[in-house]
Chains A and B, each alone.
Chain A
Amino acid sequence: MRWVVATLALSVAACATSAEPVSAQATPASPTAPSNAATPLADAAGQQAYARNCLSCHQSDGYGVPNMQPAITGGTWVQGDAKALALFVMTGGFNSAERKESESHNVMPAFRQLPDAELAAILTYIRQKFGKGAPAVSAADVAAARASLPPG
């Protein structure tokens, strides 16, 4: 009897909680087991750096916000050439057709100020999470891309 009452109380409590309208928690999904060379440590660093620099616009699921910021998930850049992706992020997509033709309201900042290793960790993370597990990006890839940017 006590068990029944306790269960009922629990069920009702659970029901009441889940009926709360806005109860979503910010829980970036835990990093999935990497299918490539990235170490678990790099993955966690990438997730943290993504949270600091990218998440508020592109959101934890990489889908962006309709009308506001575009999705990374399902895009071609995220799964394409590593150096091109690094250039895109370092310039905020400047001069890309995506930026010029975008209907998103907000422009992307340039992330040129991020060190090679941090940017590489972010790019590796988004390729694993939102880019169908595209290969990891190394700090050397980012450095090579950076070398091709005009000074400034």
Chain B
Amino acid sequence: MTRVVSMALATLLAAATAHSQAVDELKLPAGFAATVVHEGSGAGRHLAIAAGGDIYLGSRDGIVAMRDSDGDGKVDVTQTFGDVKGTEVVIFGDWLYASDNVGVYRYPLKKGQTVPTGAKETVVDGFPMERQHADKTFTLDPKGTLYINVGAPSNSCQEQDRQPGSLGRNPCPILEKYGGVWVFDGNKLNQKATDGRRFATGMRNAVAIEWNASQNALYAVIHGRDALDTLFPALYNAVDNATRTAEEFHRITDGGDYGWPYTFFDTKLKKRMLAPEYGGDGKKTPEQGKYPDPLVAFPAHWAPNDLLFYAGKSFPAKYQGGAFIAFHGSWNRAPEPQAGYKVVFQPMKDGKPSGDYEVFADGFAGDLQDNNPRNARYRPVGLQVGPDGSLYIADSQKGRIWRVSYKK
């Protein structure tokens, strides 16, 4: 009996130890392992990684340049530089492109240099300063066409934003300057926001926007609307709000219209519905075929903040051409439990979903005390593939960066 008890105690201790380690570790599929390459750069956003391995993290305090100079898997040189305080960072050719709320800029990247010494150049500026959905995330195609997400400074284009019962403006004038993708020449300097061409519209805020080189096409995951229940309590309750307004994954085509603010995609009814601001009564649908259904309707309020098509060499075959999506996690699900603090993998074949999405990395949020996002331990926000095919994930709570690699 004594032996049994001591064995039991030993097992308990082992379980407790494993648990305390697991608390701070990501939950990944079998064969994958994560290491922490850096922590402490504040509100991290998106990532760019140079061919030589130098890491650039967009942040609210400026771009952070990092290098692992002794090759031990941890960053040992960290320097914040420049005055571009925002989300997006992209390496294109010999340049580091970055954006803030009002423009897109670039720095020359010279061989052997981690922190660019050349002057910042302005590619586009003059976007109006807004508070809401203001990040100008972007992507470039191989020719240098620059696709900029211009989020709508509004929830649903109500006459009075986020006011209960306020009806939608029709047509929504916000769409003239926001709520879509605008294209510019990424190789040309000093363009003005008004020089761009509207490429696609009806997109509330497509933070996760990415050129898919294998398909030669643009894709995005769009943040869906908030507050169905508080704005229209006679039609929708808190559970409806927390669960029904999809985060929509689309292939974005020239001239496409993705339905904001007139509609939302309802994950419960599995169809596009007329928004309550525009005469929706919980049953009415827009004109058939006017707006495309999403490729995938992700759960409400998960906040898709980065999209990446995997083309690295080191992950198993099923990941090739598939999409990784970093979900920042919800705030607008309360009082229902918050959700979505995870990185998801969407299998794709020929540019179309080829199966259900899978949770790839989880365990970021911790126990989320008081159900408040501010208490999340980590929130995934940026994704990038390293030169060896590893997946890097950036966090916005502590500026942590993980490297996820596959071990056969």
Contacts and interface: CB of A to CB of B under 8 A. Distances in A.
A56 B1 CA distance: 54
Contacts of B373: 59, 65-66
B9 to A, nearest CB: 9
Contacts of A80: none
Interface string B222-234: 0000010110010
A106 B132 contact: yes
A19 B16 CA distance: 11
A15 interface: yes
Interface string B99-142: 00000000000000000000000000000000111100000000
Most A CB contacts (10 A, CB to CB) among B1, B132, B335, B339 go to B335
Contacts of A109: 160, 162-164, 230
Contact of A105 (B132, B227, B339, B374): B132
Nearest to A59: B372
B23 A19 contact: yes
Main secondary structure of the interface of A (DSSP, over half): loop
Contacts of B230: 52-53, 56, 109
A15 B15 contact: yes
Contact of A65 (B155, B163, B341, B374): B374
Given A56-B230, A106-B132, A65 B372 contact: yes
Interface in A20-43: 21-28
Interface in A42-88: 51-53, 55-56, 59-61, 63-66, 68-69
B5 A4 contact: yes
A56 B332 contact: yes
Contacts of B337: 22-26
A105 B133 contact: yes
A145 B227 CA distance: 27
A7 interface: yes
B363 A105 contact: no
B15 A26 contact: no
A149 interface: no
B368 A55 contact: no
A110 interface: yes
A43 B28 CA distance: 44
Given A26-B336, A109-B163, A18 B367 contact: yes
B364 interface: yes
B42 to A, nearest CB: 12
Interface residues of A, number: 43
A144 interface: no
Contact of B19 (A19, A21, A27, A60): A19
A61 B373 CA distance: 11
Contacts of B27: 21
A125 to B, nearest CB: 14
B8 A12 contact: no
A98 to B, nearest CB: 14
B235 to A, nearest CB: 15
Interface in B73-101: none
Contacts of B211: none
B367 A26 contact: no
Interface of B: 1, 4-5, 8, 11-12, 15-16, 19, 22-23, 27, 131-134, 155, 160-165, 227, 229-230, 233, 238, 241, 329, 331-332, 334-342, 362-374
30 contacts: A4-B8, A5-B8, A12-B15, A15-B15, A15-B19, A18-B19, A19-B19, A21-B27, A21-B364, A22-B339, A22-B362, A23-B368, A24-B370, A25-B371, A26-B335, A26-B336, A26-B371, A52-B230, A55-B335, A56-B230, A56-B241, A59-B331, A59-B372, A59-B373, A65-B331, A102-B131, A105-B131, A108-B162, A110-B163, A113-B165
Interface of A: 1, 4-5, 7-8, 11-12, 15, 18-19, 21-28, 51-53, 55-56, 59-61, 63-66, 68-69, 92, 102-110, 113
Given A4-B8, A18-B19, A56-B227, 15 more contacts: A1-B1, A19-B22, A21-B363, A22-B329, A26-B335, A26-B371, A56-B229, A56-B241, A59-B371, A63-B374, A64-B374, A65-B331, A102-B131, A105-B131, A105-B132
